[in-house]
């Protein structure tokens, strides 16, 4: 059953160029501008000094509420990702979350916005999988993480950033 219609999804952000060549540079740029970058994010991207982006531009993003995908009860991350692909929506490179932090000054206070990133694309030095989330609180802008286990539970009101089909 198809719950989602592409006309209901609005393009949120479009990136036609990248302002840093890898995640480590992205973290450094955010820190230099006063953004709050969690220790987990710093740890995950610290090993990427020689890794360069490998993505096609432009990157078109949308925000999708899980209820719009047809979820009426709490569900797992793996079920969410499966449903995204059936609606022609894609997962987002973790580095794109860093780029979004630089370009999401209009974020409302109290909002925490998760990014649907590929499973195991953000593993910390303890071997724990994460997905990025952006937040605004106390007049500050954050880049944090959320656990990204296949069985992590999310609720119908939760919202994820996804890539629009090309």
Domain boundaries, the chain: 25-163
Neighbouring CB atoms inside 10 A of 15's CB total: 16
Is 80 exceeded by the pLDDT of residue 166?
Answer: no
Peptide bond preceding 58: is omega within 30 degrees of 0, i.e. cis? yes
Contacts of residue 6, defined as CB under 8 A and 6 or more positions apart, other chains included, come to: 88
pTM given for the model:
0.91
Report, as an integer, the average pLDDT of 124-153: 96
Cα distances from 127 to residues 41, 80, 121, 149, in angstroms, run: 13, 22, 11, 11
The pLDDT value given to residue 2:
45
Structure confidence by residue, pLDDT tens digits, 40-79: 999 999 976 667 777 788 999 999 999 999 999 999 999 9
Is 90 exceeded by the pLDDT of residue 101?
Answer: yes
- DSSP result, the chain: -----GGGPPEEEEESS-SSSSHHHHHHHHHHTT-EE-HHHHHHHTT-TT------S-EEEEEEEGGGGT--S-EEHHHHHHHHHHTT-B---HHHHHHHHHT-TTPPTT-EEEE---TTSSB-TTS-BEEEEEEEETTEEEEEEEE--TT-EE-TT-EEEEEPP-
Check residues 56 and 38 and name the one with the higher pLDDT. 38
Report, as an integer, the average pLDDT of 78-86: 94
Check residues 57 and 114 and name the one with the higher pLDDT. 114
């Amino acid at each position: 059953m198809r719950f989602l219609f592409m006309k209901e999804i609005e393009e949120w952000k479009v990136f036609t160029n990248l302002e840093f060549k890898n995640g480590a540079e992205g973290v450094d740029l955010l820190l230099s501008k006063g953004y709050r970058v969690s220790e987990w994010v710093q740890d995950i991207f610290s090993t990427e000094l020689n890794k360069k982006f490998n993505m096609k531009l432009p990157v078109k993003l949308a925000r999708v509420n899980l209820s719009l995908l047809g979820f009426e009860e709490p569900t797992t991350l793996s079920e969410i990702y499966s449903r995204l692909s059936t609606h022609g929506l894609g997962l987002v490179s973790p580095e794109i979350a860093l780029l979004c932090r630089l370009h999401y000054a209009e974020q409302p206070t109290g909002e925490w916005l998760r990014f649907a990133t590929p499973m195991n694309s953000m593993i910390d030095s303890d071997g724990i999988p994460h997905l990025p989330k952006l937040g605004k609180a106390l007049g500050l802008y954050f880049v944090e993480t959320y656990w990204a286990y296949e069985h992590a539970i999310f609720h119908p009101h939760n919202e994820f950033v996804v890539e629009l089909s090309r």
